[in-house]
Chains A and B, each alone.
Chain A
Amino acid sequence: MSITVYVPCDSSAVSVGANRVANAITQEAEKRGVAINVVRNGSRGMYWLEPMVEVATENGRIAYGAVKTGDVSSLFDADFLNGGSHALSLGLTEEIPYFKKQQRLTFARVGITNPVSLDDYIAHDGYRGLKNALEISQADIVKHVSDSGLRGRGGAAFPTGIKWNTVLNTPADQKYIICNADEGDSGTFSDRMIMEGDPFVLIEGMTIAGLAVSATQGYIYLRIEYPHAFEILNEAIANAYAAGYLGDDVQGSGRAFHLEVRQGAGAYVCGEETSLMESLEGKRGLVRFKPPLPAISGLFGKPTVVNNVISLASVPIILDKGGDFYRDFGMGRSRGTLPLQLAGNLKHPGLVELAFGVTLRELLYDFGGGSATGKPIRAVQVGGPLGAYLPQSQFDTPLDYEAFAALWAVVGHGGIVAFDDTVDMAEMAKYSMEFCAVESCGKCTPCRIGSTRGYEVMDEIVNKRDLDKNIPLLRSLCDTMLNSSLCALGGMTPYPVLSALNHFPEDFGVSVEHNAA
């Protein structure tokens, strides 16, 4: 009987050599005449150990990492195929503390299964949520989602159940489900990991959403920067069609749900839902005025559910185990789990799924292991390029939408980027303005002009010119952008800029006393 060896096909693992390692293992096995079965799984999310190779043994899967091609021969010598000891041994994968301490609900299968194998998906509790959904009324499906307390994981944290209910109760001849897979926030990669590591959970979640609100067509709007996810999603969708999980008659229910992946074209603003819909309609990604809400008049003017990848991928377990099961995780009004992404200057970056309530400090040090460079962590940006920078004094904040809002910060999509003490926060603020200028759709003046003027003012400040004039000017400009931009791009760029100025005034050449707003 051949031994199963797992080498991730996740694009981050591939970016550090997973394909070369997989080839080297296959060749070495052939050379030695050993029968092995190499499965390309998703990543377990412990990226400092990638490429992480696992071997299936009687006692469970045993991990080795980070494996380089040069290690392969010695792994065979050490009999790694039977769990033999080697310098790169990590023991049982599921006993690695980083992994063991997590609460994986949405990511239950990622890294375990072959992403495009429907049999594997079903063998690991897949499509149980859909089975239940097919047996209950539409209102009851929506009720499970409402009861779960699930809020939009893309960043805005709007209650998913309310959105679905609005679409359900808006009569129309055609409705749509859109999955927002335009994961543009720096420091985030959980959507990518789901799409590359367990695409069926997203397909199942979208199918359930379609059944719940009578939408027969779904679109996954995927960013062009994820070509690997595009291929895996399309393969999984084809497999789901072939097995009757998508199509005109989903599992013999007589109900239709069709799904197509559409690629974006490198515009950050298309992660904003109305801009995304313009793009899907084949137009420039200009943000729309709201109202009307997309749930009333969305894609092609029809009622549309627009949800993030993680929101939709959390639906199957909610329908499988019930809204109450999911709601029992978390704190306050932040229910369930959040797949957090530890990124930037950390020793142990990766994916950590936990119930809301864990503190930033636990994530940065207990999981992240402190900075990669060994220097003190000085600032952390949470929630992508529009998220605030937090100083050390705020590291005890629990991950909770309301706790972050109270600090004038955001949880966003759960990306956490750490910086050591070599960071120049004025440069980071300047970068935020530049990013906004590059990505602004141009429809509203505060964002279009404000970001360019903001970049110019920050350039003056970085060069320590006329600070008495330029610091108040920067604050005034941020006030305008914050309060009068059409969408979050212009409206939230002041978050990183002003938080950098407020918490790190010394980098802007001003004293703390002088800096009082």
Chain B
Amino acid sequence: MTTEPTMMQTVQTIVADLKDKKGALLPILHAVQNALGYVPPETVPTIAKALNLSRAEVHGVISFYHYFRDTAPGKHTIQVCRAESCLSMGGKELENHVKTTLGIDYHETTADGQFSLEPIYCLGNCACSPAIQIGKDVYGKVSTTDFDELLKEKSA
């Protein structure tokens, strides 16, 4: 478990490494989220100070982009593609099945902290629709049975 000092140290190291890049804010936010799984609100002042921005500006950037999150995600993040190609191949049924199976809606995390569910608008896997992503792994031609098996695999 990440403790408070370690978290701040991680962020300070990232900020020191990247702050002199041109347009450094997104690379910094990516690095923080890669390291911690999210961008904790208590790290915003550190990031803002290093880039000579206001906290509001940094918060504004975090909240603008769907990918950045300010709360800890579950152990696995499941993203279900909602876009047209997947809709044409049963994406809606898959979406309903995923929500029912996990018992959560989008932007929520299961009570046991295992799975977070997010919508995504196209994974570029449109020739193998419907598609989902778990972590960084993309899965194509996903049937409801395939999803159940994947879930079992990830829960193990």
Contacts and interface: CB of A to CB of B under 8 A. Distances in A.
Contacts of A419: 88
B7 interface: no
Given A184-B122, A279-B26, A343-B129, A16 B140 contact: yes
Contact of A186 (B27, B61, B126): B126
Contacts of B67: 224, 264-266
Interface in B11-54: 22-27, 29-30, 51
B102 interface: no
A234 interface: no
A356 interface: no
A188 interface: yes
Contacts of B121: 184, 186, 268, 385, 435, 438-439
A224 B23 CA distance: 17
Contacts of A282: 23-26, 51, 61
A23 interface: no
Interface string A35-72: 00000000000011010000000000000000000000
B128 A417 contact: no
A105 to B, nearest CB: 21
Interface string A155-196: 000000000000000000000000000011111110110000
A12 B26 contact: no
Contact of B87 (A264, A372, A431): A431
B148 to A, nearest CB: 17
A32 interface: no
B interface residue count range (under 10 / 10 to 19 / 20 to 34 / 35 or more): 35 or more
A488 to B, nearest CB: 16
Given A16-B140, A341-B127, A417 B25 contact: no
Interface stretch (A124-132, A323-331, A344-352, A460-468): A344-352
B84 A11 contact: no
A419 B92 CA distance: 14
A113 interface: no
Most buried by A among B68, B133, B138: B138
Contact of B122 (A50, A225, A262): A225
A47 B64 contact: no
B131 interface: yes
Nearest to A183: B124
A415 to B, nearest CB: 7
A186 B125 contact: no
Contacts of A345: 88-89
A404 interface: no
A284 to B, nearest CB: 4
A417 B84 CA distance: 7
Nearest to A280: B23
A431 B23 contact: no
B120 interface: yes
A149 to B, nearest CB: 27
Given A280-B23, A282-B23, A343-B129, A189 B124 contact: yes
Contacts of B129: 343-344, 349
Given A226-B124, A263-B30, A344 B66 contact: no
Interface string B112-156: 000000001111111111010100111111000000000000000
Contacts of B141: 15-16
B5 interface: no
A420 B88 contact: yes
B127 A342 contact: yes
B142 to A, nearest CB: 9
B51 to A, nearest CB: 7
Nearest to A193: B124
Contacts of B133: 225
Contacts of B137: 14-15
A15 B23 contact: no
Nearest to B24: A282
B85 interface: yes
B8 interface: no
Given A281-B23, A417-B88, A423-B88, A186 B122 contact: yes
A189 B26 contact: no
B64 A262 contact: no
Given A186-B122, A265-B29, A341-B126, A285 B84 contact: no
Given A280-B26, A281-B22, 7 more contacts: A12-B138, A15-B131, A16-B141, A285-B65, A300-B22, A344-B84, A419-B88
24 contacts: A12-B124, A12-B127, A15-B125, A15-B140, A50-B128, A186-B122, A189-B124, A189-B126, A228-B138, A264-B26, A265-B66, A265-B67, A266-B65, A267-B65, A267-B66, A282-B51, A282-B61, A283-B61, A349-B129, A385-B121, A415-B126, A428-B84, A431-B82, A439-B121
Interface of A: 11-12, 14-16, 47-48, 50, 183-189, 191-192, 224-228, 262-268, 279-285, 300, 341-345, 349-351, 372, 381, 385, 415, 417-420, 423, 428, 431, 435, 438-439, 441
Interface of B: 22-27, 29-30, 51, 60-61, 64-68, 82-89, 120-129, 131, 133, 136-141
User: Lowest 3 CB-CB distances: which A-B pairs, in order?
Assistant: A282-B25, A186-B83, A265-B65
